[in-house]
């Protein structure tokens, strides 16, 4: 029997949207275009199929697929049934996938035919406890759900989930060691949905384009779109020209992009000129810091349509928000901010002794509220550490200004200690990207016999621009001071990023720190 204050789950949100918005366009990919009623029918059919393999409330489901409508219908079915859903990032390595499926005790894995067929077979071989291999399309040794979907009856949409159930068991990016399973209950999922809708500057008609994987940030953003009966267009990835074409064809009004993809749009004026992008009313960015100077360029091109999110898997998507009006070109310093704390959350900056720091002083961002995870799956010690003192410790260092805006300095573990100075890579990266020749930059600390660690930069120059290391070193010295100036600069074609769009510092550090202890987790 449910308690008086239970309810309000991810499942009930989906059922409500389908009941309310019937014939409105709900979701489309390259081949499928469903109304809310048709999406509801597909969800009901997936529920029937999931039950036929023995899945019941609390069972564990995982999906490895690109952006396709059936994938979202299957995720929604899991929410309604009260399954524990674990996303797999399409770009992650085989070892990561196998580890997650085993660690999360997945009972049924769905893989997309084609590029993920072999991966599905490998995971099944490596994880004997996996009971069911299912597929979207024909895959050897798997049960093809899409072949069966038209021939089964749709189950009625009745919410079997509970507020306290784990909705998503989502694994952290794993930039330091093995990723951890983050227990996101329905309580946190619905809190996130309401906060995203309340605190972002959504257009009156929501037509949302998802190009980054719906297994991650682009996917959880679908919940607030459904809350208001909006339309979701899925594309399989980001390619500048096809992305712009879809915006024009579908009259897209809202998008989510990581900064590197916004840079790609900014740096492609000839492609942008071919298409009418005037329908764009909200460009949400996040997952990684954005250079203030490049953000100014983007605002000058697209107008005052930018909204920034800051969150993490443990408190998804909306610890702070930087709204359209906060992107004020007359206050250039603010473009480096991640905004103000979301309503319904407590967000404070603490020192190592958990004392709140003064305005303008760096402290760790700590959060509490119904958005915060229940803890890490099967990791009581890591949970106790992350939630010590009754707060979620994000591992991000920030300062707060007089007006309550937060400015993330960097991850605590990424700090470079050089000659006694505490230097955060973000500070150096922003200084480098303020130079007109620089398209993007990444900074790490490398071992140095004199300084302990030396600042090293990797720089991508804009097309057809020539610039040397000495010029950029002098530029950073002028903007930040001598300790921040990179001791060495490598000019590269691209900066490696993780599947979530963050700079892959682990990859950049590996050649310099192999066999050495850098003293970070």
* Local confidence band at 432 (pLDDT 50, 70, 90 cut-offs): very high
Greatest distance between any 2 Cα atoms in the chain: 71
Q: Which helix (H) or strand (E) holds 350?
A: strand 346-350
Sign of the C-alpha dihedral computed for residues 259, 194, 179 and 399 taken in this order: positive
Q: Are 161 and 154 in contact (CB under 8 A)?
A: no
Ranking 35-49, 171-185, 279-293, 342-356 by mean pLDDT, the lowest is 171-185
CB within 8 A of 344, min separation 6: which ones?
191, 194, 195, 369, 370, 371
Instruction: Please give the radius of gyration of the chain, using alpha carbons only, rounded to the nearest integer.
Output: 23
* Whole-number pLDDT of residue 519: 42
3-state secondary structure at position 20: helix
Domain spans of the chain, in order of start: 10-23+36-186, 238-412, 415-513
The count of residues in the chain is: 521
Same fold, 10-23+36-186 and 238-412: yes
Residue 263: which H helix or E strand, with range? helix 259-266
Superfamily of domain 415-513: ANL, C-terminal domain (3.30.300.30)
Q: 499 by DSSP, 3-state: which?
A: coil
How many other CB atoms sit within 10 Å of the CB of residue 471? Answer: 12
Tell which residue, 309, 266, 262, 315, has the closest CA to residue 287: 309
Predicted confidence at residue 205, as pLDDT, reads 97
Contact status, residue 186 vs residue 167, Cβ threshold 8 Å: yes
The model carries a pTM of 0.83
CATH-assigned architecture of domain 10-23+36-186: 3-Layer(aba) Sandwich (3.40)
Q: Is the pLDDT of residue 176 over 60?
A: no
Retrieve residue 401's tokens.
């200004």
Mean pLDDT of the residues in the chain: 92
Q: Residue 521: what pLDDT?
A: 31
Instruction: Read off the pLDDT band of 518 (50, 70, 90).
Output: very low
- pLDDT given at position 175: 40
Class of domain 238-412: alpha beta
- Predicted pLDDT of residue 436: 93
When comparing pLDDT for 425 and 384, which is higher?
384
Q: Find the Cα–Cα–Cα–Cα dihedral 15, 19, 21, 26, rounded to 10°.
A: 40
Asked if residue 171 has pLDDT above 50, the reply is yes
Helix (H) or strand (E) holding 193: helix 186-199
Residue 28 CA to residue 208 CA, distance in Å, equals 10
pLDDT at 419: 67
Residue 177: per-residue pLDDT = 54
How does residue 516 score in pLDDT terms, banded at 50, 70 and 90? Answer: low
Using pLDDT thresholds of 50, 70 and 90, give the confidence band for residue 311: very high
Q: H/E/C letters for each residue in 235-256?
A: CCCCCHHHHHHHHHHHCCCEEE
- The predicted-structure confidence for 275-297, as pLDDT tens digits, reads as follows 999 999 999 998 766 888 889 99
């Amino acid at each position: 029997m449910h308690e008086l204050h239970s309810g309000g789950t991810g499942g009930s949100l989906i059922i409500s949207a389908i009941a309310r918005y019937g014939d409105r366009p709900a979701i489309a990919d390259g081949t499928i275009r469903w109304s809310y009623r048709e999406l509801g029918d597909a969800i009901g059919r997936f529920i029937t199929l999931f039950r036929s393999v023995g899945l019941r409330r609390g069972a564990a489901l995982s999906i490895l697929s690109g952006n396709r409508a059936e994938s979202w219908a299957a995720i929604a079915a899991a929410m309604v049934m009260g399954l524990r859903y674990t996303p797999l990032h399409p770009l992650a390595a085989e070892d990561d996938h196998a580890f997650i499926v085993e660690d999360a005790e997945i009972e049924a894995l769905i893989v997309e035919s084609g590029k993920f067929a072999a991966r599905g077979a490998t995971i099944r071989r490596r994880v004997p406890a996996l009971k069911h291999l299912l597929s979207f399309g024909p895959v050897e040794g798997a049960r093809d759900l899409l072949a069966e979907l038209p021939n089964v009856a749709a189950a009625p949409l009745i919410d079997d989930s509970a507020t306290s159930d784990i909705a998503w068991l989502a694994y952290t990016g794993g930039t330091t060691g093995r990723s951890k399973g983050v227990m996101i209950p329905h309580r946190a999922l619905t809190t996130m949905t309401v906060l995203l809708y309340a605190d972002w500057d959504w257009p009156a008609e929501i037509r949302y384009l998802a190009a980054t994987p719906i297994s991650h940030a682009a996917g959880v953003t679908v919940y607030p779109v459904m809350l208001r009966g909006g339309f979701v267009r899925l594309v399989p990835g980001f390619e500048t020209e096809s992305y712009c074409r879809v915006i024009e064809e579908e009259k897209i009004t809202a998008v989510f992009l990581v900064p590197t993809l916004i840079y790609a749009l900014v740096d492609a004026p000839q492609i942008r000129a071919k298409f009418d992008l005037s329908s764009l009313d909200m460009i949400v960015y996040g997952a990684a810091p954005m250079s203030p100077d490049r953000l100014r360029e983007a605002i000058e091109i697209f107008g005052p349509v930018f909204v920034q999110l800051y969150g993490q898997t443990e408190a998804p998507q909306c610890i702070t928000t930087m709204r359209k009006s906060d992107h004020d070109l007359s206050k250039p310093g603010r473009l480096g901010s991640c905004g103000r704390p979301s309503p319904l959350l407590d967000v404070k900056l603490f020192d190592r002794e958990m004392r709140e720091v003064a305005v303008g002083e760096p402290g760790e961002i700590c959060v509490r509220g119904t958005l915060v995870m229940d803890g890490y799956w099967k990791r009581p010690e890591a949970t106790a550490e992350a939630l010590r003192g009754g707060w979620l410790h994000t591992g991000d260092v920030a300062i707060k200004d007089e007006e309550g805006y937060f400015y993330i300095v960097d991850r605590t573990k990424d700090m470079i200690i050089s000659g006694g100075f505490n230097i955060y890579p973000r500070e150096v990266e922003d200084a480098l990207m303020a130079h007109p020749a620089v398209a993007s930059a990444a900074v790490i600390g490398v071992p140095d016999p004199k300084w302990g660690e030396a600042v090293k930069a990797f720089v991508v120059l804009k097309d057809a621009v020539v610039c040397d290391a000495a010029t950029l070193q002098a530029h950073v010295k002028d903007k930040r001071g001598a300790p921040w100036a990179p001791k060495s600069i490598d000019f590269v074609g691209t900066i490696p990023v993780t599947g979530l769009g963050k700079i892959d510092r682990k990859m950049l550090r590996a050649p310099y720190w192999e066999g050495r202890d850098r003293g970070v987790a």
